Amino acid sequence: MSVVINEVSDRILTVTINRPDKLNALNPEVMEGLAAAFESARGDEAVGAVILTGAGEKAFIAGADVTIFRTFTPVSARAFARKGQALLDTIETLGKPVIAAVNGFALGGGCEVALACTLRVASKTARLGQPEVNLGIIPGYGGSQRLPRLVGKGRALEMLLTGDMVSADEAWRIGLVNRVVEPAELLPASREILKKILAKAPVAIRCVLDAVNAGLDMPFAVAEDHEATLFGLCVATDDMKEGVSAFLEKRPAKFTGK
């Protein structure tokens, strides 16, 4: 059985990390499987959105596979971090919404993967944290950058410095996850959010993702200029004409992505 399972239904690709006996820890095989899944999802027109989750009831991803750490040199560890960062950048800039369905522990690299997703839906049993300092290291998959951008510098520093895990409810309170649901509702609730997004104008959805993701890395004035360009692009779409007409004619819009 593959360590990464991919299933498409109703234009939603569900990617499940399938290493439950090791709490879905990220070994090279899992990283390769995830890279292949997201690279193929990017160009696949049959895929409009992605749910990423972990097999079993205990863990989303309990981090990078710690057994590998013993073999590291400074040079190989840097390469390991850069490769992981590239995968998470691919997830973040996929151009399609990605939901992390956090079904249990999301620690270290697991929390970082969740941070790179567009949205995070957590089961009530989920626990999230960046425990790298317990191992004498720091996050290497962008966590020191994405966590403060999401929850603010003070809360991020507390998590990064103490290594403490937060409960799903606490993660919701600080904005680390978007929703907290019963375990049985995790995948249905994630699908419901994605179905809502998939019913909107596809070009506009891609432009929102780009305006926010690219814009946050730009100086404010440059980001505003980028936003205005994307706004202008949307005005050129059939979907904009359809959306405005449907509103004025008091009927549901039928978007084509053109």
Quick one: tokens of 125?
């049993």
- The interface mask with ligand COA, positions 22-61, x = CB under 6 A, is xx-x------------------------------------
Query: By CB under 6 A, is residue 107 in contact with ligand COA?
Result: yes
Q: How far is 52 from 122, CA to CA, in rounded Å?
A: 12
Measured from the CB atom, the residue of 63 and 243 that comes closer to ligand COA is 63
Q: Which stretch binds ligand COA (CB under 6 A): 62-70, 115-123, 143-151, 193-201?
A: 62-70
Q: How far is 179 from 168, CA to CA, in rounded Å?
A: 9
Q: How far is 20 from 184, CA to CA, in rounded Å?
A: 18
Q: Which stretch binds ligand COA (CB under 6 A): 104-112, 142-150, 199-207, 231-239?
A: 104-112
What H or E segment, with its residue span, contains residue 7?
Answer: strand 4-9
Quick one: tokens of 249?
């004619």
Of 115, 153, 113, residue with least CA distance to 30: 113
Q: Which stretch binds ligand COA (CB under 6 A): 37-45, 48-56, 130-138, 227-235?
A: 130-138
Sites for ligand COA among residues 65-94 (CB under 6 A): 65-67
Sites for ligand COA among residues 132-151 (CB under 6 A): 132, 135
Quick one: tokens of 192?
């419901």
Of 215, 228, 130, residue with least CA distance to 171: 130
What residue ranges bind ligand COA (CB under 6 A)?
22-23, 25, 62-67, 105, 107-109, 131-132, 135
